Structure formats: C-alpha cells, structure tokens
Amino acid sequence: MQPAANKEKVAIIGSGNWGSTASKIIGRNVHNFDEFDKEVKMWVFEEMINGQKLTDIINTKHENVKYLPNIKLPPNVKACPDLVETCRDATVLVFVLPHQFIREVCKDLLGKIRPDAKAVSLVKGVDVSESGLTLISDLIKQHLNIRSVSVLMGANIANEIAEELFSESTIGFTDADDAAVIKKIFNTPYFRVSCVNDVAGVEICGALKNIVALGAGFVDGLRYGDNCKAAIIRLGLLEMKKFAQMFYSGVRDETFLESCGVADLITTCSGGRNRKVAEAMVTTGESLSALEARMLGGQKLQGTLTAKEVHMILEQKNLTQEFPLFTTIYKIAFEGLPASHLVRDL
Ligand SMILES: NC(=O)C1=CN([C@@H]2O[C@H](COP(=O)(O)OP(=O)(O)OC[C@H]3O[C@@H](n4cnc5c(N)ncnc54)[C@H](O)[C@@H]3O)[C@@H](O)[C@H]2O)C=CC1
Ligand SMILES: O=C(CO)COP(=O)(O)O
C-alpha cells in the first residue's frame, strides 16, 4: 500500500514483549490524529510457531502468541518479515529490539530509509566497542544518518501496559518538534508521557537500571529482605548518576527523578525479568544465560550484557573502585563471587 501523501508514517522495528505492547498503543493512537497514516508496519524477526510463521499468526489472529500472548493488537498493525520493506516509506522509526541486535539492523537499513525520517529508541542498553561507549541513540543516528533520535524510557513493564494499567514514561529529546510527534503516538490516559531535553540522561538510566536489577535479584535469592533491596536501589541510583555525569556532560540531576530514573529502578527491581533470573541464579546455582534460555521463552535479558559492557569500560578507565556496586554485581554474575558479597563488599 502507498503511504498517504504528506502523512507521518510509523514503522516499528522489533516485536518482542515491549515491541508488541508499543504496537498496540501506536496502532490505536494513529487513529487519533489526522497527520498519521493509519497503517503501522512492524518488523518481526521471523520464526515458526507450531508450523506457522509468526508474521502470519500476528496478521490473522492479531496477537503475538509468543511474546505477548492474550493481548489483541489493532488490525492496522501489519507484521512484516522484511526489515527494509517495513521501514522504506516510514517517517517515524521506532526501534525496540534487544540492544545486541541494533548494529546488525542498522547495517541492513543503511541507505534504505527516507532522508527525512526521525527515530525514537525504546532500547535499554549501551554499545561498547573498541572505540568506547556509545549510546544506542547515537549509534542509530551515526549509522543511519538520521537527523534526530529521541529515546523513550520509563517504569514500563510491558505486560502491565499491555493490560492498560497506569504507568508513566519519559521521552528524552534534542528536537522538540520531533518529540511532539513521538509523544502523540505513545501518550494515552494509561501511558502518561513527559518530555525532557536530556537524551543521554534518560538513556543511561534505562541501560544501567538493568545492572541494579540483577543486584536486586541476588538480594531476593539470598532472602535478605526489603530493606536490603532498598539499599541496593539507593546505591544503584547513585552509581547510575555518577556514571551518566562522568561520561556525558549536560546530564541533568532532575532526570533521575523522572519515570526513566528512580521509578524504573523500583519497578525493575520488583517485577522485571533481570531481577527474576538473578534471583533464580542464587537459588539454583545455574548460570544467568542458562536460566534466561529456560525461563524467558525467547525473551532476552539486557542487564547481563550491560553489566559486562559497563565493567569493560570501567576497567579500561581504571574506575572499578569508584563503582563498587556495578563491579560486585558483575563479579557475582560472571566470576563466581558468592552472592553474599553483594553487601559485604560495598
Ligand atoms: N519487556 C519489557 O517490559 C520492556 C523492555 N524494554 C526494552 O525493549 C527492548 C526490546 O525488548 P522486548 O520487546 O521486551 O524483547 P523480548 O526480550 O521480549 O524479545 C526478544 C526479541 O528479539 C528478537 N530477536 C531474536 N533474535 C534476533 C535477531 N538475531 N535479530 C533481531 N531480533 C531478534 C525476537 O524475535 C524478539 O522479538 C530491550 O532493550 C528491552 O530492555 C523496555 C521497557 C520494557
Ligand atoms: O525495562 C523494563 C521495565 O521498565 C523491563 O525490565 P526487564 O527487562 O528486567 O524485564
């Protein structure tokens, strides 16, 4: 189908637990504004479910039976297995993939998108390579030559939002006009979005809280109680802020009090997947990667890779002693340090 002339057209890149939830919100919201084309394409990393393509299931049943079961998606959300086809005519690109897949996706999209497209990243993670630390939003911007990449992060456990339970979220932006368009596709009475001019602050919060969530899971596995978990959350928030302000100038103190900051830490340390799998690591003695594969039905952890990536950067810069919580969580997760050292070593 040709896009309606001069209309904003949204493409969603990713269709996991959060990607599918985002498609439910966006698919409905485009009907509220004249300026949007009503068709929303969603790129699905194709897989077979009981002999049927996941894209076919989504397009006939209007449900992502693997990553967001029992939630109806709007019929104007069209699942598409071809990445370039999904994005070719879009003016708004919504990136919502596990962060380890972003480089590959950007490579495949290079030169294949509209020059006037804007983007928003819902991806919680950072990129670490030989050239150092890069925000996922910067990676997308640099690789695809996109003029503005906003981010949307917050206390947003997808299953709750899919059931339309109230939550807040934060858009970090550099271009206020683009942020206003992006807010329109996400904001609903049950998903309350606010905007701050601080991409790095919002994005670093979204990435680092997943490391702290592993710590919260260790506390739960050890049965150390709620006071101890609150201490981990407090110390985690301090290290998140220190890290963000050390690596990015202009990060604002107030950002840590938005949904993307303290609120996301609290929800992730209570109901998130990183917390759940870290708890199981302590109670079963199995590795985080084995538990991720066994417990999550194809969904991915982001805290494990982020803990490794952040540790690599801290080691490179001789900063591990300045971040004792992140460092201890890394050592418990990957170097066999007993979980009880979480509090002993702080
Ligand atoms: N699920 C949640 O509650 C929330 C997730 N997020 C963030 O959203 C991002 C996406 O997470 P979810 O939608 O939850 O995904 P998910 O963890 O539920 O699912 C994994 C997704 O990765 C896809 N995939 C597997 N192999 C792939 C490959 N080689 N290339 C591309 N895609 C591949 C799968 O098809 C699936 O769609 C993450 O950064 C996550 O931290 C943010 C807020 C809430
Ligand atoms: O980011 C999230 C909630 O805001 C989800 O966290 P998990 O990936 O740990 O489930």
Q: Which of the 8 DSSP states describes residue 198?
A: -
How large is the average pLDDT for residues 38-47?
Answer: 98
* CB neighbour list of residue 249: distance below 8 Å, 6 or more residues apart: none
Q: Looking at the CA of 260, which ligand is closest?
A: 2
The fold of 205-345 is N-(1-d-carboxylethyl)-l-norvaline Dehydrogenase; domain 2 (1.10.1040)
Residue 2 has pLDDT above 80, yes or no: no
What was the pLDDT predicted at 279?
Answer: 98
What was the pLDDT predicted at 211?
Answer: 98
Domain over 8-197 is classified CATH 1.10.287.3510: no
Q: Looking at the CA of 274, which ligand is closest?
A: 2
Annotated binding-site residue? 43:
no
Distance 156 CA to ligand 2 centre (A): 7
Residue 5 has pLDDT above 80, yes or no: no
- Of 333, 319, 226, which Cα lies nearest the Cα of 287? 333
Q: Is 274 in the pocket of ligand 2 (CB under 6 A)?
A: yes
Given a contact cutoff of 8 angstroms between Cβ atoms, the answer to whether 162 and 180 are in contact is no
- Percent of the chain surpassing pLDDT 70: 99
Placement of tokens 């993939």 in the chain: 97
Report the phi/psi class of residue 212: left, alpha or beta, with left for phi > 0 and alpha for psi in -120 to 50: alpha
- 151 has which bridge partners? 121, 172
Distance 19 CA to ligand 1 centre (A): 7
How large is the average pLDDT for residues 128-153?
Answer: 95
**205-345 has the same fold as 8-197:** no
Report the phi/psi class of residue 86: left, alpha or beta, with left for phi > 0 and alpha for psi in -120 to 50: alpha
Residue 311 has pLDDT above 60, yes or no: yes
How large is the average pLDDT for residues 143-167?
Answer: 97
Given a contact cutoff of 8 angstroms between Cβ atoms, the answer to whether 102 and 89 are in contact is no
Residue 3 has pLDDT above 60, yes or no: no
> Is 112 annotated in the active site?
no
Rounded to an integer, what distance in angstroms lies between the CA atom of residue 294 and that of residue 4?
44
Rounded to an integer, what distance in angstroms lies between the CA atom of residue 38 and that of residue 156?
25
User: In the predicted model, what is the mean pLDDT of the chain?
Assistant: 97
Q: How confident is the model at residue 130 (pLDDT cuts 50, 70, 90)?
A: confident
Q: Looking at the CA of 259, which ligand is closest?
A: 2
Distance 125 CA to ligand 1 centre (A): 11
Q: Which of the 8 DSSP states describes residue 120?
A: E
How large is the average pLDDT for residues 89-98?
Answer: 98
Residue 204 has pLDDT above 70, yes or no: yes
> Distance between the two ends of the chain, CA-based, in angstroms?
58
The answer to ipTM > 0.95 is: yes
How large is the average pLDDT for residues 32-60?
Answer: 98
Residue 339 has pLDDT above 60, yes or no: yes
What was the pLDDT predicted at 1?
Answer: 52
Rounded to an integer, what distance in angstroms lies between the CA atom of residue 312 and that of residue 316?
6
Rounded to an integer, what distance in angstroms lies between the CA atom of residue 171 and that of residue 145?
21
How large is the average pLDDT for residues 77-91?
Answer: 98
* CB neighbour list of residue 266: distance below 8 Å, 6 or more residues apart: 155, 233
Annotated binding-site residue? 124:
yes
SS in 3 state form for 35-75?
CECCCEEEECCCCEECCEEHHHHHHHHCCECCCECCCCCCC
Distance 292 CA to ligand 2 centre (A): 14
Q: How confident is the model at residue 7 (pLDDT cuts 50, 70, 90)?
A: very high
* CB neighbour list of residue 317: distance below 8 Å, 6 or more residues apart: none
Ligand 1 pocket test: pick from 205, 300, 302 the residue with the most ligand atoms within 8 Å of its Cβ.
Answer: 300
Reading the block at residue 241, the tokens are: 């802020």
Helix axes 199-222, 303-316, angle to 10 degrees: 110
Q: Which atom of ligand 2 is nearest to the CA of 299?
A: 8
What was the pLDDT predicted at 110?
Answer: 96
Annotated binding-site residue? 273:
yes
Given a contact cutoff of 8 angstroms between Cβ atoms, the answer to whether 122 and 152 are in contact is yes
- Of 144, 36, 20, 115, which Cα lies nearest the Cα of 71? 20
Annotated binding-site residue? 289:
no
Reading the block at residue 137, the tokens are: 């939003």
Q: Which atom of ligand 2 is nearest to the CA of 264?
A: 4
Of 209, 229, 241, 331, the catalytic one is 209
- Atom 28 in ligand 1: residue holding the nearest Cα: 101
Q: Where are the domains of the chain?
A: 8-197, 205-345
Distance (Å) of CA 308 to CA 24, 123, 126, 232, 314: 33, 17, 11, 19, 10
What was the pLDDT predicted at 4?
Answer: 67
